Structure 1
Amino acid sequence: MATGWAGDGAVQDQIDATVSDAVKRARRQLRQGPGLTHCEECGEAIPEARRQAVAGVRLCVTCQEAHDQERQASLYNRRGSKDSQLR
């Protein structure tokens, strides 16, 4: 592939840098710390095992599942247009 003045590995280096930046950005967005002892939605106690497994946990399992379902439903494309689904 002709790349002009770029070196042989320049394209792969750019891809690697883009992936690395995306991973760093995602890691910065992860919650950190001990988390809450009680769910901020319903007030139910969050088990110690969950608090140790999920850093910065704020919701109990039941509320987290409901939150995930709401988020998943909002990502669904209801228009059904193939063009909009391919974007």
Structure 2
Amino acid sequence: MADDVDFADERIEKELASALSARIVYSGVSALECECGEEISEGRRLAVPGVRDCITFAEHSALRLRGVRRG
């Protein structure tokens, strides 16, 4: 018989699977410059092959997707 813990575990597994399937997977050649005009650091280009955004632009984009508004 399923209890609250089982239901919570199922929900966590579904949310994790959804988050993993929605993540951006980069591949290919990394850009040298972000669309915001900033240079993409060598460390970021090596760590995330195929990256197109600098870390600052990527963080702001992620916040916008989550509905966070900044002044």
| Shared fold per TM-score greater than 0.5 | yes
Gaps of 5+ in 1: 1-6, 75-87
Match of 1:52 among 46, 54, 58: 46
- Residue 58 of structure 2 is matched in structure 1 by 64
Q: What percent identity do the matched residue pairs reach?
A: 32
- Structure with the greater alpha carbon radius of gyration: 1
Deviates more, 1:52-61 or 1:15-24: 52-61
In structure 1, C-alpha distance between the alignment counterparts of 2:5 and 2:49, rounded to whole Å:
34
Q: What are the Cα deviations for residues 16-36 of structure 1, in whole angstroms up to 9, with x where unaligned?
A: 011001001101111113363
- For normalisation by structure 1, the TM-score amounts to 0.50
CA RMSD of aligned residues (A): 3.0
In structure 1, C-alpha distance between the alignment counterparts of 2:8 and 2:16, rounded to whole Å:
12
In structure 1, C-alpha distance between the alignment counterparts of 2:49 and 2:7, rounded to whole Å:
32
- Residue 19 of structure 1 is matched in structure 2 by 12
Question: Are 2:69 and 1:73 equivalent residues in the alignment?
Answer: yes
Aligned pair count?
66
In structure 1, C-alpha distance between the alignment counterparts of 2:48 and 2:17, rounded to whole Å:
19
SS of 1:64's partner is helix
Q: Match of 1:37, as an amino acid?
A: A
Deviates more, 1:11-20 or 1:34-43: 34-43
